[in-house]
Amino acid sequence: MFSATPLLCALLLTSAAFGRPETWEERASSSFRGPCDQIAKAVSNASQVFFPPSTQYLSDIYHYAPSSTQESACSVEPGTTEDVSKILRILGSTRTPFAVKGGGHATNPGFSSTKGVQITLARFNRTKVNYKDRTVEVGAGLTWDQVYTALNSTKVNVVGGRIPGIGVAGLTLGGGYSYKSSQYGLAIDNVASYELVLPNGTITNVTSQDKDLWFGLRGVVTNFVLKSHPQAQIWAGIIFYSGTQLDAIKEAYATFQKSNDTKSSLLINLAYASGQFTITVMPFYDAPTPPPGIFDEFLAIPAILNTVSTRSFSDLFLNFTSLGLAAGGLRTFYGGIPVTRYSPAIFDAFKNLTVFWGTRLGALDKNASVITTLEPFANTLFSHGAPSAYPPDRSHVVFPSIASCQWSDVSLDATMARALRQTTDEARAAVLADGQNVSHAAIYVNYALFDTPLKDMYGANVPRLRKIRAEIDPEDVMGLAGGFKF
Ligand X SMILES: *[C@@H]1O[C@H](CO)[C@@H](O)[C@H](O)[C@H]1NC(C)=O
Ligand Y SMILES: Cc1cc2nc3c(=O)[nH]c(=O)nc-3n(C[C@H](O)[C@H](O)[C@H](O)COP(=O)(O)OP(=O)(O)OC[C@H]3O[C@@H](n4cnc5c(N)ncnc54)[C@H](O)[C@@H]3O)c2cc1C
Assess 93 for contact with ligand X (CB under 6 A).
no
* Min CB(330)–ligand X separation in Å: 8
Assess 101 for contact with ligand Y (CB under 6 A).
yes
Q: How far is CA 203 from CA 80, 118, 216, 394, in A?
A: 11, 20, 16, 31
Residue 189 β-bridge partners: none
Assess 318 for contact with ligand X (CB under 6 A).
yes
Assess 125 for contact with ligand X (CB under 6 A).
yes
SS3 sequence of 106-139:
CCCCCCCCCCCEEEECCCCCCEEEECCCCEEEEE
Q: How many C-beta neighbours within 10 Å does residue 394 have?
A: 18
Assess 226 for contact with ligand Y (CB under 6 A).
no
Residues 205 to 244 in contact with ligand X, rule: CB under 6 A:
205, 225
* Min CB(201)–ligand X separation in Å: 7
CA distance 53 to 393: 46
CB of 324 within 8 A of CB of 307? Answer: no
Assess 112 for contact with ligand Y (CB under 6 A).
yes
CA distance 191 to 228: 9
Assess 102 for contact with ligand Y (CB under 6 A).
yes
102 interacts with, out of ligand Y, ligand X, none, CB within 5 to 8 A per kind? ligand Y
Residues 145 to 164 in contact with ligand X, rule: CB under 6 A:
149, 152-153
Helix 246-259 / helix 344-364 crossing angle, nearest 10 deg: 130
Assess 29 for contact with ligand X (CB under 6 A).
no
Assess 202 for contact with ligand X (CB under 6 A).
yes
Helix 413-433 / helix 10-18 crossing angle, nearest 10 deg: 140
CA distance 221 to 224: 7
Assess 409 for contact with ligand X (CB under 6 A).
yes
314 interacts with, out of ligand X, ligand Y, none, CB within 5 to 8 A per kind? ligand X
Q: Name which of 35 and 139 has its Cβ closer to ligand Y.
A: 139
The half-sphere exposure of 324 on its side-chain side, counting CA atoms within 13 A, is 2
Task: Catalog residues that contact ligand X under the rule CB under 6 A.
Answer: 45, 123, 125, 149, 152-153, 195, 198, 200, 202-205, 225, 258, 260, 307, 309, 312, 314-315, 318-319, 322, 345, 348-349, 352, 365-367, 379, 393, 396, 408-409, 437, 440-441, 472
Task: Catalog residues that contact ligand Y under the rule CB under 6 A.
Answer: 1, 5-6, 64, 99-107, 111-112, 121, 140, 161-163, 166-167, 169-171, 173-174, 176-177, 220-221, 446, 481-483
